[in-house]
Amino acid sequence: MHPDEGLGSTLVAALTAALGPRDGRADPGAEPPRIAIGFSGGGDSTALLHAAAALQKRRFVEVFAFHIHHGLADDADQWLAHCADVAAAFGVAFDADHVTPGQPGVSLEADARRLRYAALTRLASRRGCVALLTAHHADDQAETVLVNLARGAGIGGLAATARSRVLDGIILLRPFLDLPATRLRGYLKAHGLKHVDDPSNNDRRFTRNAIRHEVMPALRRIVPSIASRLTLTASHAATMQSLLDEIGLEDLGRDAASTLTRDDELDVERLAALSSARAANALRVWLAHRGMRPPSAAALKEMLAQLLHAAPDAQIELLHERQTLRVYRGRLSVDRGGPPRVAFKSIAWNGEAKIDVPEWNGSLHFTRATGRGFDALALREGPLALRERRGGERLRIRPDGPSRTLKNLYQEAGIAAWQRHRLPLIYLGDRLLFAGGIGPNAAVMTDAMPGMESMSIDWQSHASDP
């Protein structure tokens, strides 16, 4: 087989599966979908970018090359310049971003990978790309299986690198996972493509590099097709993992086609009704849908023990991936944020529909009211103020209802004490207009009069990333 045979068709097949059928003969006036290539400048990503650029010439796709500068290598600036030059030579748009790995308590390699993907999806979103492609191949997949075996990983680790998944709203594709590295090297040679070499890839102090240079050659002498065999193992494990995910969703009360949101809480009683294996699997699925990696088997066992055997009124607090998990009234949730950055924030409203308040990790929303509401003229004269609770505040939910303490209302609404101090109280002068998590104060709302503009107020907290 000719060395460049298969790369273009492999890309077409991957993109067609992800984006829908295309015949490469689109209407000249139609805009092709935009795709992003994670471009390090190494041989694998150079082959991927070159093959994608060939599809761009057929107007199958519009290609963007994105390079992430980690600043970890002495030649990082030269690599960035090289990538910009190669992208220009291939006729594709180019962009780059700088990241600084080094988060305490996280390996440098893992932190660099996390920041790299975050930067790549950010660039892809900014450019309107629907998919992000990376050049991982069968040898990479085989190495990942062995790395995860070495650290005692379970089915999820054996599944290794996913062929496709959605990351921050962008489809992440690895179209070359079934191709051996030799195919990509042959492609580079056939087209005379130059690329950079990262010397850190030869540092055998890193487990992956030691496996690549020492373990894989020995295995190939025994089983020449070891890379494809291990890739097949990863595929089988991915199927098993998918089944476990479906079971976990069902055990959490969701059908297999649904997804959990980042705000969904976990019913501890539902976990307690499951076998230990299914409870552990359901907790793993719940954590994954909250954006967290699964804990080790030992850590997962300890978390379950605390959740399932604690006293009903126990204040349970679990730590995982620098996040705090808390139980309130039998429901587990993730405490993602700290206290507000300010105890008092003055807001001038000039008729906007939304005002972001980053100090309180949320936003104020204003809509025209058809019935009772707040006088828009008074709101404009303001200013409004966001304040912390001090205790003793009262609010009337219904015009004809009694005035009640916020503490009582929060308890009735099932809002835990540790969540309440992050919900602002909105004042106009000394009048409480709105309590975050509860709603407007009917005691200070009025019926709209002729010629009066009446407004509703709402507060929305922003989800924090893990």
Tens-binned pLDDT, residue by residue, of the chain (466 aa) = 344 456 888 888 888 888 877 554 445 567 899 999 999 999 999 999 999 999 999 999 999 999 999 877 788 899 999 999 999 999 999 999 998 887 766 677 778 888 999 999 999 999 999 999 999 999 999 999 999 998 888 898 899 888 898 888 899 999 999 899 999 999 999 999 999 988 888 888 888 899 999 999 999 999 999 999 999 999 999 999 999 999 999 998 876 555 565 557 888 889 999 999 999 999 999 988 877 877 888 888 899 998 888 777 677 888 887 778 888 878 888 876 666 677 888 999 999 999 999 888 889 999 998 888 999 999 999 899 999 888 889 999 998 889 999 999 998 888 877 778 788 999 999 999 999 999 999 999 988 777 778 999 999 987 654 3
- Tell me the C-alpha distance between 382 and 400, whole Å: 27
Q: Is the peptide bond before 383 cis (omega within 30 degrees of 0)?
A: yes
User: Is the fold of 7-233 the same as that of 262-335?
Assistant: no
Contacts of 455 (CB under 8 A, 6+ apart): 366, 367, 368, 369, 373, 374, 375, 376, 379
| CA-angle at 296, arms to 294 and 300, nearest 5° | 80
- Tell me the C-alpha distance between 160 and 143, whole Å: 9
Q: What is the pLDDT of residue 182?
A: 92
Q: How far is CA 229 from CA 128, 142, 224, 233, 284, in A?
A: 37, 8, 10, 6, 28
Provide the 3-class DSSP secondary structure of residue 346: strand
- Tell me the C-alpha distance between 242 and 248, whole Å: 10
Domain ranges in the chain?
A: 7-233, 262-335, 344-461
Structure tokens at 406: 């916020």
Q: What is the pLDDT of residue 106?
A: 64
Q: How far is CA 150 from CA 42, 112, 143, 153, 403, in A?
A: 27, 21, 10, 8, 62
Contact call for residues 22 and 131 (beta carbons, < 8 A): no
- The H or E element containing residue 165 is strand 164-167
Contact call for residues 354 and 364 (beta carbons, < 8 A): yes
Kindly report the number of other CB atoms within 10 A of residue 165's CB atom: 11
Q: What is the pLDDT of residue 263?
A: 58
Q: What is the pLDDT of residue 336?
A: 63
Q: What are phi and psi of 259, to 5 degrees?
A: -130, 155
Of 428, 438, 360, the C-alpha closest to 394 is: 438
End-to-end CA, the chain = 47
Of 350, 295, 352, the C-alpha closest to 322 is: 295
| CA-angle at 212, arms to 208 and 216, nearest 5° | 125
Q: What is the pLDDT of residue 108?
A: 73
Q: What is the pLDDT of residue 100?
A: 86
Does domain 262-335 sit in CATH 2.20.28? no
Q: What is the pLDDT of residue 360?
A: 86
Query: Domain 7-233 is of which CATH architecture?
Result: 3-Layer(aba) Sandwich (3.40)
What are residue 365's DSSP bridge partners? 354, 458
Burial class (CB in 10 A: 0-12, 13-18, 19+), 229: middle
- Tell me the C-alpha distance between 328 and 330, whole Å: 5
